[in-house]
Amino acid sequence: MKNLKKVAAICLAAAMLVPFAACSKKGNKIVMSTNAQFQPFEYYSGKEIVGIDVEIAKKIAAKVGKELEIRDVEFDSLPNELSSGKCDFVAAGMTVTEDRKKNMDFSDTYFDATQSIIVLKNSSIKSRTDLNGKTVGVQQGTTGDTYCTDEEKTSDIHVKTVKRYNKGSDAISDLIAGRLDAVVIDDFPAQKFVENNSDKIVKLDDALTVEHYAIAVKKGNTDLLNTINSVLAEMKSSGELDKLIEENKAALENS
């Protein structure tokens, strides 16, 4: 009897401790998942992940009064981060697409982008249609990948081979090494890559798509979605969002 009491007491204590420990860990944190290979939206400055999306995420965290935690994963696994509850939101320069809308809910959009084409300086590829029959590098699972892979056969461009990379920078290295004819990637990161290798590569004027970035939450998480939309609305009306984007453009121009 004495022992049983003891066991019960321990169980009770454990039962009380465990949920509290779990709560207090999750309770004061809000988790963002991203793929920090996408300058200037998310990238490493030393060991720290910084960028436009991180600045927006900090505002979201401040709004809900929680500490921001960032998970850096492959771009491909971001939808799963949400559905499995590993994060509260995804901020990753993510384009809203009908397909993605099936698995997650998107906030209002905060940035307009295009898919750009990067080639070597002396390349014979001068326009989008010159990509026909060529070998193109993309970041795995991105809209650039979808466009070039063209599973639905809706595109007017028919590239020969699509090579998929986890990091856009690895695609650029392969382009410079002569293993690719072109790289297709979002225009803002494209601009950054070109500025860092301006003696070797150029960005074509032609673009492939028009896209809009938004923050994603788990399907049905309207509370958080409303909070995110209110943060975005405030940042838009105060001019803070424009300023953030301009600052990052300037940083690119100076780098």
Smallest distance, ligand ARG to C-beta of residue 239, A: 24
CA atoms within 13 A on the CB side of 5: 2
Helices (H) and strands (E) in the chain, counts: 9, 10
The strands making up 29-34's β-sheet, listed across from edge to edge, are 67-72, 29-34, 89-90, 201-218, 104-120, 182-186, 135-139, 161-165
Q: Looking at beta carbons only, is 73 or 230 nearer to ligand ARG?
A: 73
Question: In sequence order, what E strands does the chain have?
Answer: 29-34, 43-45, 48-50, 67-72, 89-90, 104-120, 135-139, 161-165, 182-186, 201-218
Smallest distance, ligand ARG to C-beta of residue 220, A: 21
Q: How far apart are CA 23 and CA 97, in angstroms?
A: 34
Instruction: Give the distance from CA 31 to its chain's centroid.
Output: 14
Smallest distance, ligand ARG to C-beta of residue 120, A: 22
Smallest distance, ligand ARG to C-beta of residue 95, A: 4
Which whole-number Å values give the CA distances from 211 to 93, 97, 178, 205, in the listed order?
10, 9, 29, 16
Smallest distance, ligand ARG to C-beta of residue 93, A: 4
Q: Looking at beta carbons only, is 92 or 104 nearer to ligand ARG?
A: 92
Smallest distance, ligand ARG to C-beta of residue 82, A: 14
Q: Looking at beta carbons only, is 76 or 174 nearer to ligand ARG?
A: 76
Q: Looking at beta carbons only, is 95 or 227 nearer to ligand ARG?
A: 95
Q: Looking at beta carbons only, is 214 or 241 nearer to ligand ARG?
A: 214
DSSP state of 127: S
Q: How far apart are CA 122 and CA 116, in angstroms?
A: 17
Q: Which positions lie near ligand ARG, rule CB under 6 A?
A: 34-35, 37-38, 42, 75, 92-95, 139, 142-143, 186, 211
Q: Looking at beta carbons only, is 147 or 180 nearer to ligand ARG?
A: 147
